[in-house]
Amino acid sequence: MDVAVILAAGEGTRMKSKTPKILHKLCGKEMIKYVIETAKNAGIEKTILILGHNEERVKQVFDEEHLLFEKQPIYEGAPYGTGFAVMQSKKHIEDDDTVVILSGDVPLIKEKTLRSLIAFHKLEKNAVSILTAELEHPYGYGRIIRNSDSSVEGIVEEKDATDAQKTIKEINSGIYCFEGKALIYALEHLKTDNAQKEYYLTDAVAILKQINRKAGGFKTEDSSEISGVNNRLQLSQLQKIKRNQINEKHMLNGVTILDPDHTYIDDEVIIHKDVTIFPNSYLEGSTLIGEDSVIGPDTRISNSSIGNNVKVEYSNVLDSIIGNHTSVGPYAYLRPASELGEYVKIGDFVEVKNTKIGNYSKASHLAYLGDGDVGENVNIGCGVIFANYNGQTKNITKIGNNAFIGSNSNLIAPIIIEEGAYVASGSTITENVEKNALAIARARQVNKNNWKKECK
């Protein structure tokens, strides 16, 4: 069986955050999720997460049945180190398993690379295979020492390397593939005779070489895959790499992104072909964008479903649904639980919250529609307010098909405006309006002639 052991016990103190490092998000998703999903997509059947102080916080994020959790013991004087963390997985590992060691803070590792590493490991019949990469400036990394037959002789850390060894550009990524039996043997023979008094997994290579077991190195051509996160600066650097990858994927799938450097799309967003995205657009969470839609500029859409041939510009859309051929903006605000039908128009400075709006209805400007149910072909004039809150409860405004709500009207919920009814401009409506009726709720106009002269 192929098994993944993901090291995720680090406190991440350099992140300077209350949030565990591996739960910091990269393009909308916790970085540890990338590692777990990549392992699963690479065909690995069992995944073990090694946790520490962050155990409860991390477990709250996951409900996958295939995950196993082990907590690294925490006590004063504990040896710690990568080897100590992997030791916690021993009870889940069989002799004939193939075990891949991954880091929860190295989120850009690719499925293809993991598959290739595992295939290389099995083909070469190695006891351990190390994923390596070449860096132009390898300072700080352990160097890979190879034999004349290209097998790995060992890993030399920067502080122990000779001047000649420091010129080597091939480095250890910290990602390994072990034969199960060899890993268990190596873990049982790790020692803490080093400056940090810790168990180092890198020592496993030398331990296995001592019993004439073979070590190999598989080199990835993309060094960004093995980049880790220790602080927020590094997180931002990986964010840029991942964002570019996401944008490239969508463009190759038929999406026009006018300025990829200023377009921000989360990993789980789905975009269909022939969509055009203008600059400074943010597509977040589990958003879906239908064909032929135009998004932006300066638009944020989060956890929302956008239909085909929709236009959203200079607007915010949160946790909402927009039907086909609908137009939103500029400067509109769709708050959670809003649902717009087809051919709807929500214009400038209109705010919609927890309201369903039927096909062909429109609120072209300067309105607040909160907690409502609006039928089809309804016209909502400028300055209309759904007065939905009485200080204690939120109440519903219901408007039937083909109704007309005149400008600057206040609808005091709970209230029903029935089908075909009219509300005269400037009215404050407190009672239901019957079908096809006209409601007028304003004082009669009185003009006082010569008023200005008399006042003087």
Indicate the Cα dihedral angle 148, 154, 155, 157, nearest 10°.
Answer: -100
Q: Which two tokens stand for residue 28?
A: 């909308």
Strands 128-134 and 143-146: unpaired
Q: Which two tokens stand for residue 446?
A: 């009185």
Contact 129, 176 (CB under 8 A): yes
**How far apart are the C-alpha atoms of 140 and 234, rounded to whole Å?**
15
- Give the amino acid at 257: I
Q: What distance, in Å, lies between the first and last C-alpha atoms of the chain? A: 98
Cβ atoms within 10 Å, residue 312: 27
Q: Which two tokens stand for residue 101?
A: 């060691």
Count how many Cα atoms sit within 13 Å of the Cα of residue 121 in the half-sphere of its side chain: 23
Cβ atoms within 10 Å, residue 441: 16
Cβ atoms within 10 Å, residue 153: 15
- Cis preceding linkage at 330, omega within 30: yes
Beta-strand ranges (E) seen in 186-253 are 215-219
- CA-based nearest residue to 411, from 376, 446, 368: 368
**How far apart are the C-alpha atoms of 360 and 325, rounded to whole Å?**
10
What three-state secondary structure class fits 126?
coil
Cβ atoms within 10 Å, residue 166: 13
Annotated catalytic residue 92: no
Q: Which two tokens stand for residue 179?
A: 């034969």
- CA-based nearest residue to 251, from 231, 273, 280, 270: 273
Catalytic residue, chosen from 24, 121, 325, 365, is 365
Strands 333-334 and 170-179: unpaired
**Where does residue 418 rank: exposed (0-12), middle (13-18), buried (19+ CB within 10 A)?**
middle
Catalytic residues: 365
